Amino acid sequence: MPFFLFFWYNVVMKIVSWNINGIRAVIKKGFLDWLKKEQPDILCLQEIKAKVGQVPNVLLDWVGHNGYLSYLNPSSLKDGHSGTAIFTKLKPLSVGQEVGLKRFDQEGRVLRLDFDKFTLFNFYMTHGDRTQKHMAFKLAAFDYLVDYFKKWDRGRPSPNWTGSAPVLVGDFNVAHKEIDLARPKDNQKNTGFTMPEREKIDKLLKLGFVDSFRKFHKQGGNYTWWSNFANARARNIGWRIDYCFVSQVLAGKLKDAFILPDVFGSDHCPLGIDISF
């Protein structure tokens, strides 16, 4: 799709999200071959673990010659840590790299693109650590984002107007329901499935966001992250901790939501949506 496409009519757009666990590492594991085949309209990446000058030229050259604009938001606090990126075939009206929460913003955990029909947020939420030493920061960040979207300007001149409606994608590092991980009973007190974390996802949904994958897929066994130990991925002992949440006003425009568990290169796999405008 060309950069100048802003007045869409029944255009089905594919948005894909993937925690790649290091952009330099994933390039060595077939990432570019996958991208050449998949070619989503918008690709959101989390945990790029690289500064702007450290992103492999082979990737930047290919996306630049194949209709993509590149936007990167690396961590400014620590090298090789965190960071987000977006490659898009649609030129945004504006770009943002912060939500106003200092440490969260400094770690490159959000990248926002404003389009004519919607605003896309690419999030990488902190894990919280197995010892839960970062849990307070994680919960505070969720609380901040819930408040942020409570204040979001959703004034619309008509029920069909979708301008500025937010779409949230990324690694939220929380399995929301028992159906979202293989062994819920064993993980009740573990980071990523504690009740305080799960309640933050409840609060986001109560604002009017829709879990796009659950709109189409009600069954269990669908995960986006697997431990690197004990052959967990081959055994499908996983967690669904990566999401695409769309505003209620956009939910009816969803055509599909998907997870791509057979795509390797990271301990996460890609997921995404097809949405019509």
Q: How far is CA 260 from the centre of its chain?
A: 14
Active site annotation includes 171:
yes
Q: Which of 105, 171, 180, 211 is catalytic?
A: 171
Is the Cβ–Cβ distance between 77 and 92 less than 8 Å?
A: no
Q: Which residues of 22-44 are buried (b: 16+ CB within 10 A; e: fewer)?
A: bbeebbeeebbebbeeebbbbbb
Pairing between strand 110-114 and 94-96? antiparallel
Q: Helices 57-65 & 31-38, crossing angle to 10 degrees?
A: 10
Q: Which of 90, 54, 89, 58 is nearest to 72 (CA)?
A: 54
Task: Write out the catalytic residue numbers.
Answer: 171
